[in-house]
Structure 1
Amino acid sequence: MNDVHDYGNSWKRHYLERHLQEHIEKLGPENFVQSEIESLVQLCSPYVKRLSIQQLQAPQPPEFIDGDHCEWPTEVNSIDHISLQPFIKGLVNLEELHVMFGVRGCGMDFAWILFKFSLVDCINIGLGLNSANCLKTFRIHRSTLDDARVSILLQHIMRNTTINRLDFSHCEIGDQGALAIGKLLTVHPALEELILCNNKIGAAGANGLACALSHIASPLKLLDLRLNHIGNQGVTDLCSALANSEHPQELILAGCGFTEETGIKLGQMLQHNTTLQALDISNNNLGEVGGEALSHGIKDNTTLLRLDYRMTGITQEDASSINMSLKSNTNRYRRKQEC
């Protein structure tokens, strides 16, 4: 992202966003001085709209008595990083926040503890979110964000009514975390995109999200659950909710471990759903039976414009039938847009 066009054609914004990112990524907890941070944030605040943090330095490990080397004790399971609260709170124009916990280029000093973060880290981020009145996109990815940590963050996200995109992809959120996220969907007034790709959500978590879709308050447009093994039961619950729900408009279920019996449920759902425009079910074993159910179901659907059925094992005949139905829906949609 070195193109100034990515920064609103502002060289000042380009420089200050990159400078602040580099400063945060290199700042160790032992060098954190509140007054210096506040001065830096005040200087950068008018120009910074996006903050993308690719690493956070860990504190220095304790030194052994013999003084030969430093190493983290095996019983330590999380570490506190620098507080991001003053950055989030002080950047009054911040619209996007991307955070990844870990250390790049650690070399021979590698330890799993460097890629873990504490509940205190979550609390500090959450307190910052309470004051982020312009924030639209919040992303924590490729990090050890689990049920306990995401629950803390969600308590603060509920109070922030400007966030419309949440991305917790490639983390460790399980069923309890998904249930908490489902509760968020029933109360948050602005959330439009929810990305939970490659977590540890199972059938119980999918059921919680399905219940939330039946009582949703958020104007959700995108729900991404790819690479979560929610299985047949999880997708069946989602189909039951989607039969009558107006949200989302795009659903991604690629690589979710469901089979042909769920393909039948998907076909039945498409017969009743009137708002879904894009559906990704690639890399699931639907087979001939599931493909036939989909091709029949989509014939009665007038809104679906895109269906990704790659690597599902459906027959060429069913694929051709699906494509014809999609083309018909697309032509109908274009005519509506022209009117």
Structure 2
Amino acid sequence: MRKNIYAEEPNWSLSLVPSLSDICLQWIVNNFEKKPIFEELLPVQQDFVQERLSTSLPLHVTVNLVPDGVYWKRCCKERWYLCDVSHYGDSWKRMFFERHMENIIENFIPDLTESKTVLDLVPLCKNYIKKLNISQLLPPIKEPQLEREEDEDGSDWSFENDVDEPQMNHFNFRILLDKLTRLEELHLVYRVKQCGMTFEWAMFEMTDRDCESLAFALKSCKTLKLFRLHQSHVEDKKCRVLVNYLMDHPSLRELDFSHNLIGDSGAREISKLLTRSKLQVLNMCNNRISGSGAKAIAHALSSNSTLLVLNLRLNHVMDEGGQAICKALLNNTTLSSLHLGGNDVTSVTACALSEVLTQSKTLRSINLSCNKLGEIGGKALAEAMSQNFTITECNIHLTDIGEEAASAIDKVVWANQSSERKRQAQRRKP
């Protein structure tokens, strides 16, 4: 007698039954924390596991076992809305650990968060962190001040009446930087985001103690190539401390102190750094450097053989500093980009720069925008540019040089750009 057997599920078929291999792999996924198995698997099996592993697994389990790939991409995508992996050398693993460390530092509250929170992460992430971009540094939580009360005799009192308020110090980088043995870039801003009604100016500047600890940490970080400290109310005293520790740094190539309060005294320290470092890029945009400070930088520039980019935009160098820098460029053979926009320079500086333009073979970009160069300055620049074959960028906006001079300069720049493109095309040919 023959019987037909029908499945309870009409859509059931043998193809729906998972293979024994998949069942075993799923067991590995479900028990990965207790019994991590990965390296013994075939590549296709590793892909299966990476696509299904929980992104909440402890980092000490996954960091050395799961390679860069799908798993770390999932970790990033689930945690952050914007994930541009091209900013991290196309490495999802690097993105995860850099941003994870950044978040810990940005939310670190001195005297409340334990240093162990940061230090425990270092052994896991130090091989993957090349850049840290810290956009916030929190100060300690201040104890509420007791309001003054009046005694019956009319006198007032409070527990804090005769005690100076302590400084608001931030995260201590001394505990971290020397341990990040592959760190190449450090970007810092001393500020508090979304401070709301608790706003205080002290939230937007580093203290003296912050400066000392940061300077010591920078010196100990031998791999650092780029250091940016901006919008943090850094003035001459703090600039001197930082620069003194950066003297003779073995790897520093780019220094950015833009949007601070550095004046001539700080500029003189920067000039010393130019003689005792291998800096290639110096950005001092939007500070308080006047002619005296610019002359000090110019003096160092005349004998410097490494600096490629100098940005002094939005300072007060005026013609005293502008002329000094131009004179220095007559002896300098490496600088390729100079930015003097918004510095109150006039035709005097333009005429001094015109001499440089007829001789320099290295200068590629100049920016004199937002200065009152006038027609005399414009004419001098136009005549000099007619003899120049290297300048491919020349910003002369808002300088009152006149349309005729501006047009002549633009034509030379376009011709130089065309020649440069042809040279690059020739180099690319086999």
Q: Does residue 1:91 correspond to 2:172, yes or no?
A: no
Q: Does residue 1:199 correspond to 2:280, yes or no?
A: no
SS at match of 1:31: coil
CA distance in 2, matches of 1:267, 1:76: 55
Aligned to 1:272: 359
Aligned to 2:333: 246
**Contact in 2 for aligned 1:174/1:200 (Cα 8 Å):** yes
The answer to which structure, 1 or 2, has the higher relative contact order (CA under 8 A, 6+ apart) is 1
Q: Does residue 1:174 correspond to 2:263, yes or no?
A: yes
CA RMSD of aligned residues (A): 2.5
Q: Deviations over 1:102-156 (max 9, x none)?
A: 1111111111111121222122122222232221111001111111111111122
Aligned to 1:140: 229
SS at match of 2:111: helix
Aligned to 1:38: 119
Shift in Å, 1:269? 2.4
Aligned to 2:301: 213
**Contact in 2 for aligned 1:198/1:228 (Cα 8 Å):** yes
Aligned to 1:124: 213
Aligned to 1:60: 141
Identity across the alignment (%): 36
SS at match of 1:29: coil
Number of matched residues? 337
CA distance in 1, matches of 2:166, 2:265: 20
Greater alpha carbon shift after TM alignment, 248-257 vs 7-16: 7-16
Shift in Å, 1:321? 1.6
CA distance in 1, matches of 2:166, 2:323: 37
**Contact in 1 for aligned 2:371/2:399 (Cα 8 Å):** yes
SS at match of 2:362: coil
- TM score, norm. by length of structure 1: 0.92
Aligned to 2:192: 103
Shift in Å, 1:64? 2.3
Structure 2 unaligned residues grouped into runs of 5+: 1-81, 150-157
Shift in Å, 1:301? 2.5
Structure 1 unaligned residues grouped into runs of 5+: none
Of the candidates 69, 77, 92, which is equivalent to residue 11 of structure 1? 92
Q: Deviations over 1:293-312 (max 9, x none)?
A: 10111223232221111111
CA distance in 2, matches of 1:32, 1:125: 19
Shift in Å, 1:331? 4.4
**Structure 2 letter corresponding to 1:274:** K
**Contact in 1 for aligned 2:212/2:242 (Cα 8 Å):** yes
CA distance in 2, matches of 1:310, 1:159: 38
**Contact in 1 for aligned 2:337/2:366 (Cα 8 Å):** yes
Aligned to 2:26: none
Q: Does residue 1:230 correspond to 2:309, yes or no?
A: no
Greater alpha carbon shift after TM alignment, 168-177 vs 33-42: 33-42
CA distance in 2, matches of 1:110, 1:44: 34
SS at match of 2:121: helix
Q: Deviations over 1:25-82 (max 9, x none)?
A: 111111243344321222221111111111111112243234999x9x9976953212
Structure with the greater alpha carbon radius of gyration: 2
**Contact in 1 for aligned 2:85/2:92 (Cα 8 Å):** yes
**Structure 2 letter corresponding to 1:209:** I
Aligned to 1:311: 398
Aligned to 1:297: 384
**Contact in 1 for aligned 2:323/2:348 (Cα 8 Å):** no
Q: 1:159 to 1:125 in 2, by over 3 A?
A: farther
Q: Does residue 1:81 correspond to 2:170, yes or no?
A: yes
Q: Deviations over 1:9-34 (max 9, x none)?
A: 22222122111111111111112433
Aligned to 2:201: 112
4+ runs of 1 displaced by more than 6 Å? none
**Contact in 1 for aligned 2:129/2:183 (Cα 8 Å):** yes
SS at match of 1:126: helix
